[in-house]
Structure 1
Amino acid sequence: MENSNSVFWERYHKAPIVGIIRGQSFDAVLEIAQVYGEAGLTTLEITMNTEGAASMISALRSKFPSLNIGAGTVCDLEDHREALDAGAQFIVTPIIDELVIEHAVHENIPIFPGAYSPTEIYKAWSLGASAVKVFPATQLGVEFIKDILGPLDQIKLLPTGGISKFNIRSFFEAGAFGVGMGSSLIDKKMVEEGDFMSLKKHFGNIRAEIAGFCE
């Protein structure tokens, strides 16, 4: 597991963006993953409240071995186990569920639990989070990340919500370990129109914004 984790983190650091896929069809997910990798992005999350999420995770693991494929919106141990059985390489939660975090840590699975306040963020980190998903970051903004990292500079933060091409660089400049991006990354209109070449270009443009923060 340690070796697989080292591969996971090597990929992650090449483009520290977690792309969040929610509510897409199976066929669309395959198309998204194809151009995602071609654009130089590496880490994709399928939310467990997407219909057929487990099947999608399994298929992506098989068809795109060069990508990190994980599960998001994992709210309890049942979700966690279903995700891991499908082959998820990392777990993301919108909330702090101590049992989920403890199991992921015990199983040596990277886990990004969601937290909002300084107390929640510190608690998630203390439980063994690989990084803490600051969620929702929409109203908190870049200054919140700076403020948290003042006294809690050892914690790795992954702001999610409200991140876009226009502000992503500022979050990294503030010290973010990475970001989670949903609709601002997986452009709904492009997907609905089947315009995956434009989506690939869109992915590449976002990655270019943080080129200096990629390894």
Structure 2
Amino acid sequence: MSDSPLNLSTPIIAILRAPTAARFAQVAAVLHESGITAVEFTLTSAGALDALRDYAGSGHPVGAGTVLTAADAARAVDAGAAYLITPVVSTEVIAEARRLGVPVISGAFTPTEIHRAHAAGSTMVKVFPASVGGPDYIRAIRDPLPDIPLVPTGGVARTDVKAYLDAGATALGMGSPLIGDACVGGDLEALRERVSIVREQLS
């Protein structure tokens, strides 16, 4: 499987999580317009599958996050998810993603979990929660496991983007430090400004 459907021309996966997914399409559109090409709709948000289904026709690939079971994976792909993201090492989700032919990013933390996820077929591995170890932890993981693409996620601050990428991260998952209150009625222009701060560290 290729990770190309994630369209990581910018190495950021924006994570949309809120009580409801009512504003996900608007936020995703702003992110895409601002140069963030990978966006995750989390299934713990009410209406996420409907939002996925509606946004899938926009021409921008969108992923499903917090996928915990094979049934979740199947429903998400049926709704139009181009890739799947889990917070844990779920071999049933990895197997279902492979069966459906979509990339999957499995959550893991320890070297053993990271290796297990990759060996099971995870396209990339989400190191979660990344803030526990920071960029130094990613650098330490990269030494013995240099061929596993790592996506630090969870508490990645806007000002730490370059440090994580310099430490060897393939991409970063960013939720509230990037999205802020945009999914619950917040200012979308402020979201554009936060995206700009992040993208400045990528040049």
TM class, shorter-chain normalised?
over 0.9
**Structure 1 unaligned spans of 5+:** none
Q: What is the aligned partner in structure 2 of residue 197 from structure 1?
A: 189
Q: What is the aligned partner in structure 2 of residue 107 from structure 1?
A: 100
What SS does the aligned partner of 1:105 have? helix
CA distance in 2, matches of 1:40, 1:191: 18
Shift of 1:6: 7.2
| 1:161–1:180 contact (8 Å) kept in structure 2 | yes
Q: What is the aligned partner in structure 2 of residue 39 from structure 1?
A: 34
Given candidates 172, 185, 206, the residue that maps to 2:198 is: 206
Shift of 1:206: 1.0
Given candidates 43, 52, 68, the residue that maps to 2:47 is: 52
Cα deviations by residue, 1:18-63 (Å, 9 ceiling, x for unpaired): 111111544421221121111111111011111011001111112x
**1:61–1:24 Cα change, 3 Å:** farther
Shift of 1:99: 1.3
Q: CA RMSD in A?
A: 1.7
Shift of 1:169: 0.7
2:122 aligned partner, one-letter code: A
Cα deviations by residue, 1:132-189 (Å, 9 ceiling, x for unpaired): 000111111111111111011011100101112111110000110101011011111x
Q: Does 1:69 align with 2:62?
A: yes
CA distance in 2, matches of 1:15, 1:197: 20
Q: What is the aligned partner in structure 2 of residue 184 from structure 1?
A: 177
**1:6–1:17 Cα change, 3 Å:** closer
Shift of 1:198: 1.9
1:35 aligned partner, one-letter code: V
Cα deviations by residue, 1:67-126 (Å, 9 ceiling, x for unpaired): 220100001111111101101000000111111101212322110000011000000000
**1:69–1:146 Cα change, 3 Å:** same
**TM-score (normalised: structure 1):** 0.88
How many residues are matched? 203
**1:27–1:49 Cα change, 3 Å:** closer
CA distance in 2, matches of 1:182, 1:123: 25
**TM-score (normalised: structure 2):** 0.93
Residues 1-215 of structure 1: pairs in structure 2 closer than 5 A:
8-9=5-6, 11-12=7-8, 14-23=9-18, 25-62=20-57, 64-65=58-59, 67-188=60-181, 190-192=182-184, 194-211=186-203
CA distance in 1, matches of 2:25, 2:42: 15
What SS does the aligned partner of 1:87 have? coil
The alignment-based identity, stated in percent, is 33
